[in-house]
Chains A and B, each alone.
Chain A
Amino acid sequence: MRIVVCIKQCIDAEAITKVDDHGQVIKEGQSLVIDPYSEFAVERALQAKDCGEAETIALAIGGQEVMPTIRHALAMGVDSGCLVDDPAIDLDDPVEKSIVLAKALTKLQPDLIMGGYKSGDTSQAQVIPRLATFLKIPYVGIVTHLEIGEHAVEATHETDDGFEIIQVELPAAIAAQQGLAEPRYPSVRGIMQSKKKPVEIYNLEDIGLSPSELDHPKPCVLPCRPKPARKGGRIMKGELSVVISDVVAALKSDGAIS
């Protein structure tokens, strides 16, 4: 079985995120890590590989700056990597990314496609379902457990009030949610081995796409801004029972409680 995991690189969630004068998020100087949801998907794929059942490939879009993230996946144990690097691709647009990944996947011919259900940074939750639709294969999103069979998978899909178990035939796409698999830390051996593992680099032409095929209606992106910090930080001092009655009185007068 061949499993391709679509991975993304993002700014570390703990970082202070800054915006430049043009209203763009500043990536330079930031700690760039593997997106956590992508990582859950990588781990689940590796668990299948551990059972002797799978060949795994990590697929990403971007320039050379994304290579450390691919190497991280390889260090975790993924067999090889694939990077689609082309300046014509708008890396912030979910539709372009979905089309590019879908065409790369068509070339890679996986039985199972995995990825994060959303990313930790932009969190749009669009790419996996869009690429599945483009490829005309079924997908299951927000997956917290996956049973992989030879011809089908059974995915536990989180709903708003519980969960569902959904079976789909392969090839299929699965979008990982937290809880699917706890990512392993790359071992020192894994890190050494990762340097020798192959990473195929493609441009648009290699995957059979012309830049005009990426053209489609998209929202006009306006400058973004940091969200103003909450005005908080008042710590109530004094004897606890007095503090409690003061807080309740304040909440009543604020209208927070009736």
Chain B
Amino acid sequence: MSDIWVFSTYRNSTFNKVSYEMIASSRKLATSLGGSTASIVFDSIVHEADLVPLAYYGADDVLILEDPSLSPYTTDAYANALTALAEKYKPLAIFFANDAVGLDMAPVVAQNIGAPLLTDVMDMTVEGTKLLLSREAYSGKIVQEFALDPGRHPLIATIRAGALEAAQCDETRPVHVTRTQIEDFGTIRQVVKDVVRKTSARVDLTEARCVVGGGRGIRGEAGVKLIEDLADVLGAAVGGSRAAIDEGWIEGQYQIGQTGKSIAPDLYIACGISGTIQHMSGASAAKCIVAINKDEEADIFKVADYGIVADLFTAIPLLIEELRLQN
């Protein structure tokens, strides 16, 4: 059985990009330990054809658990099942995405198997048989580093999307699938009364190469329409600061910041956003930041690569026009 596990969230017949990023890094760790990498997939129904990309991106094995108890997601069903599998197969490390599912399951599984856990890991380096993990703390002002020895104690980590290097797809890799079972899911204490999913046709905010964000300055529907139009021209995702979410202009799941999502695009265009510490802790991994704000004193201008002091209602239409011309 493989030694490094990547819990790969299966939704709409596909996997998120961070699963592939984790598999790529896990391979390095597994190689140094003389072991292998497995992708772990849970659902009520799993189509084997959907699993092929996991192998192409580096999973030596894909371990599937298929059971009606696994839909809808509940903490107990998933954590109990993964705990049982971990106790059976004894992986040296288990990685999850630092998303709602990962943050829900990882601490419970870690507590069950007595493993240390580090969350929101942004960098993973293998030094011999040891693993160095780093993450940010204090609203993104401090970098913390930890050394772990998976050969001595199993470890668990949740990994930030877009932080680890991109995976390489190799279609010559063989696909190995193992179906497993567990005896008992245990009592499931969570009763799921409702599941509300708000989907968007746009690229996922945490995976997007380009993000347009709106803050207090967008002032409502007209501003939202402008940033959406800009995003359309760029093929970008749309996000918002806490202020825009609190005003109800942008849905909560698109919030960028400490209480929202972390993004790591090549380009982040922040419109009418003042640039609080909490917001920037979610946006600072952007390679390039363009800020549009009519307040020259706004904090965002201290961190923006290109600062445009202007009313976004004037600047964005000009920007859209210029981008269309360039295309």
Contact = CB atoms under 8 A, between A and B. Distances in A.
Contact of B289 (A161, A179, A220, A232): A232
B234 to A, nearest CB: 7
A255 B266 contact: yes
Interface in B132-179: 132-133, 136-148, 152-153, 155
Summarize A's interface: helix, strand, loop or mixed: mixed
A114 B237 CA distance: 34
A60 B307 CA distance: 44
A73 to B, nearest CB: 20
Summarize B's interface: helix, strand, loop or mixed: mixed
Contacts of A219: 116, 118, 133, 146-148, 155
B89 interface: no
Interface stretch (A63-71, A132-140, A195-203, A204-212): A132-140
Contacts, number: 228
Interface size class of A (residues with CB under 8 A): 35 or more
Given A167-B190, A233-B302, A162 B253 contact: yes
A138 B147 contact: no
Interface size class of B (residues with CB under 8 A): 35 or more
B33 interface: no
Contact of A240 (B74, B104, B116, B314): B314
17 contacts: A17-B138, A19-B142, A95-B111, A132-B108, A160-B261, A161-B253, A163-B252, A165-B193, A218-B116, A224-B143, A225-B143, A227-B140, A232-B289, A232-B305, A233-B301, A247-B306, A251-B290
Given A160-B101, A161-B253, A168-B189, 16 more contacts: A117-B103, A122-B137, A124-B120, A125-B107, A130-B111, A134-B111, A159-B253, A160-B253, A162-B195, A163-B196, A230-B289, A232-B305, A234-B306, A235-B296, A235-B309, A240-B308
Interface of B: 72, 74-76, 99-101, 103-104, 107-108, 110-112, 114-120, 132-133, 136-148, 152-153, 155, 189-199, 210, 234, 242, 252-253, 258-259, 261, 266-267, 277-278, 284, 287-290, 296, 301-310, 314-315, 318-319, 322-323, 326
